[in-house]
Amino acid sequence: MFGYVVANKASLTEQQLARYRAQYCGLCRALQERFGQVGRLTLTYDMAFLVLLLHSLYEPELRTGTNRCAPHPMAPQPWIRSEITEYASALNLALSYHNLRDDWQDDKSLPALWASGFLRKGYDAVHAALPRQCNAIESGLLALHAAEAQSPMPADAAADAFGSLMGELFVYREDRWAPVLRRMGAALGRFIYMMDAYADLARDKKRGRPNPLAPLFAAPDYEAQCKTLLTLHLGECALEFEKLPLVEDVDILRNILYSGVWTKYELLHRQGKEPERK
């Protein structure tokens, strides 16, 4: 359900792209150092966005460097890290662990069961360090599964469950910015959930799995309704985002929220991947 919160790299300057990649590489290094090579495989751009956002808001002390790594053995890659990078790496691990458990429970995927076993020790450590966030993930997924088990599925309840989960993860500190971050994360979570539903509708219909967009599919204005729904959630996210006193990397963040998150949607259209109506 992740991988939608990405930059539109074609619209970034070389300097902005280098900065974006350095934050991403810092997150990758944190995952590898804390959770091993298996942890590195869980890396997502979604958590790199959170790193950029929280760095810009809280301006922590940054550590920088360049290193070779398994994905880039020839050329040293610049990286940027901070305590916020460590926070995001923990969340990345926790979300990936539960995503694998869901794949096992939903599809009986043996590779997912095997991989989740490798992440279990790391997840237990994250849970001990970040109980509020991990409890939010667990309760949010329970609420999401309960909504998806209903027929017809209450789409708003399902999206709200995932949104509530994401909102808690965006709150790094319980301070004056926590309410704004919580609302922003919740709205972005609802967008991610509905974007994932849009991308997976054909596969879900084939497998007979619940999808919140299935009841809309027969409507002649299905595409317009989907675009309106996604725009609504993203607009709510942007409204909260613009309340934050961000300066550094704000152009990269705006690139992601106002352009990058739509790249998967546009790709589906270009490739003609929307489900065929019957």
For 70-130, the DSSP string reads SS-SSS-EEEEE-HHHHHHHHHHHHHHHHHHHHHHHHH--HHHHHHHHHHHHHHHHHHHH-
User: Cα 25 to the chain's mean position, in Å?
Assistant: 17
Give 198's DSSP letter. H
The stretch 88-102 carries a mean pLDDT of 93
Q: Is it the case that residue 226 has pLDDT exceeding 80?
A: yes
Tokens matching residue 111: 């590779």
Rounded Cα gap, residues 167 and 170, in angstroms: 5
The reported pLDDT for the residue numbered 113 is: 82
Q: What is the largest CA-CA distance in the chain?
A: 57
Which is nearest to 61 in space by CA: 77, 81, 47?
A: 81
Report all structural domains of the chain as residue ranges with CATH numbers, in order of start: 9-270 (1.10.600.10)
Q: State which amino acid sits at residue 93.
A: L
**CA atoms of 196 and 162, how far apart (whole Å):** 12
pTM of the model: 0.92
pLDDT digits (tens, 9 = 90+) for 58-94: 999 999 999 887 777 778 889 999 999 999 999 999 9
Q: Tell me the HSE value of 1 on the side-chain side, using a 13 A CA sphere.
A: 26
Cα separation, 42 vs 156, in Å, equals 28
pLDDT of residue 277: 41
Q: Which helix (H) or strand (E) holds 65?
A: strand 63-67
Structure confidence at residue 105 (pLDDT): 74
Is the confidence at residue 220, as pLDDT, over 80? Answer: yes
Three-state SS for 208-242 is CCCCCCHHHCCCCCHHHHHHHHHHHHHHHHHHHHC
Residues with Cβ < 8 Å from 82, sequence gap 6 or more?
26, 55, 60, 61, 62, 63
What is the reported pLDDT for 187? 98
Q: pLDDT tens for residues 104-158?
A: 777 777 877 888 888 999 999 999 999 999 999 999 999 999 999 898 888 899 9
pLDDT over 70 at 18, yes or no: yes
Is residue 263 within 8 A of residue 8, CB to CB? The reply is yes
Query: What does pLDDT average to over the chain?
Result: 91
> Exposure string (b/e) for 208-226, b if CB count within 10 Å is 16 or more?
eebbbbbebbeeeebeeeb
Whether omega for the bond prior to residue 152 falls within 30 degrees of 0, making it cis, is yes
Query: Percentage of residues in the chain with pLDDT exceeding 70?
Result: 96
State whether the Cα torsion 31-37-39-41 is positive or negative. Answer: positive
CA 20, CA 16: separation in Å to the nearest integer? Answer: 6
Location of structure tokens 């237990």? 124
190-199: pLDDT as tens digits: 999 999 999 9
In this prediction, residue 37 carries a pLDDT of: 86
